[in-house]
Amino acid sequence: MEQIMRRTADTGFTVTSKAHTPELAVAPGAPGPLEIDSATIKFGDVTALTGVSLSVPAGQFVSIVGPSGCGKTTLLNYAAGLLPTEVLTEGAITVFGEQPREGRPELAYMLARDSLLPWRTALGNAEFGAEARGVGKEARRKKARQLLARVGLGAFENAYPKALSHGMRQRVALARTFCLGADLMLMDEPFGALDAQTKMQLEELLLELWQESGSTVIFITHDLSEAIALGDRVIVMAPRPGRIVADVPIDLPRPRHITALQTDPDYHKLYAHIWSSMEKAFAS
């Protein structure tokens, strides 16, 4: 697999990242899912991101961690084509080699809140994304059913969101996201509002679904333990202005189990390592 060597500016430590790519058919030399080259994003006079470079190979699970205001959501929104292109004042950001644009079929976006449509049943919500992308009724319904069963909600197909718990609603949102079969998934703190127990269950579920899909994931979180447990690589960002201060490979073997990781010394070593580098970066 491809080796990425990079030296991060502020912390000054060199990291090697091993891209986790299952047997994915990617033509050699094909443009990566997400390429960011010394990008600076400004909203008027406010610099949201500065000098950000990041190359994400296909199939990699990238966790981006950082405090609020570090521009991680801005990065995601730009990649999703939700921001006007003018805000990128320097550098380049490309998605599969092209300018980001809204509603690209290769791309799925998962929000912090479940954003389920309350007037649709769990099944109706799970198939909503595929429906929006013009997948035929039969095909999308079949896939949505499978995914609902997969996230443990097979018996709740006809339940409306108000009847579901937070965790269950976010499970439906996971089903909706994976129902798209997108090659690149952008996730903006999808489990941020959940309690610890539910969060672990959903992380486990996400890892399973992702491993079957072979998609590339950009996962934003403010929770370092979550970032390490899920990612092939943890990008640490710092605020004001938003920038990358560390890019750490996570070589924990896969498949991973979130509960087993809690007692894994390697996992805790990585946590301590990244934590101290974060402290150093934020102190300066």
- Closest by CA to 51, choosing from 88, 17, 85, 16, is 88
Using CA atoms, how far apart are residues 181 and 215, in angstroms rounded to an integer?
8
Residue whose CB is less far from other proteins, 131 or 247: 131
Stretch that binds other proteins, among 76-84, 86-94, 213-221, 239-247 (CB under 8 A): 76-84
User: Which of 107, 246, 261, 281 contacts other proteins by CB under 8 A?
Assistant: 107
Stretch that binds other proteins, among 19-27, 126-134, 190-198, 270-278 (CB under 8 A): 126-134
24-77-35 Cα angle (round to 5)? 45
| x-marked contacts with other proteins along 9-28 as a string, rule CB under 8 A | --------------------
Q: Interface with other proteins includes 139 (CB under 8 A)?
A: no
Residue whose CB is less far from other proteins, 109 or 191: 109
Q: Interface with other proteins includes 71 (CB under 8 A)?
A: no
* Amino acid, res. 106: E
Using CA atoms, how far apart are residues 77 and 106, in angstroms rounded to an integer?
15
* Helix, strand, coil shares, percent, the chain, to 5: 35, 25, 40
Query: Closest distance between other proteins and the C-beta of residue 133, in Å?
Result: 6
- With b for 16 or more beta-carbon neighbours within 10 A and e for fewer, the 211-221 pattern comes to bebebbbbbbb
Q: Interface with other proteins includes 53 (CB under 8 A)?
A: no
Site of tokens 């127990």: 197
Q: Interface with other proteins includes 115 (CB under 8 A)?
A: yes
User: Which of 95, 108, 235, 245 contacts other proteins by CB under 8 A?
Assistant: 108
Q: Interface with other proteins includes 105 (CB under 8 A)?
A: yes
Answer left, alpha or beta for residue 31, where phi above 0 means left and psi between -120 and 50 means alpha: beta
Task: State the first-to-last Cα distance of the chain, in angstroms, to the nearest integer.
Answer: 35
User: Which of 15, 26, 82, 193 contacts other proteins by CB under 8 A?
Assistant: 82
Query: Closest distance between other proteins and the C-beta of residue 180, in Å?
Result: 8
Hey, which residues between 171 and 230 contact other proteins (CB under 8 A)?
Answer: 180, 186
Identify whether the C-beta of residue 184 lies closer than 8 Å to the C-beta of residue 218.
Answer: yes
Residue whose CB is less far from other proteins, 123 or 238: 123
DSSP three-state, residue 50: strand
Q: How far is CA 183 from the centre of its chain?
A: 12
User: Which of 6, 18, 42, 113 contacts other proteins by CB under 8 A?
Assistant: 113
Query: Closest distance between other proteins and the C-beta of residue 280, in Å?
Result: 35
Q: Interface with other proteins includes 166 (CB under 8 A)?
A: no
Identify whether the C-beta of residue 267 lies closer than 8 Å to the C-beta of residue 261.
Answer: yes
Residue whose CB is less far from other proteins, 39 or 135: 135
Residues of this chain that interact with other proteins (CB under 8 A) are: 80-82, 102-105, 107-109, 111, 113, 115, 117-121, 128-129, 131-133, 160-162, 180, 186
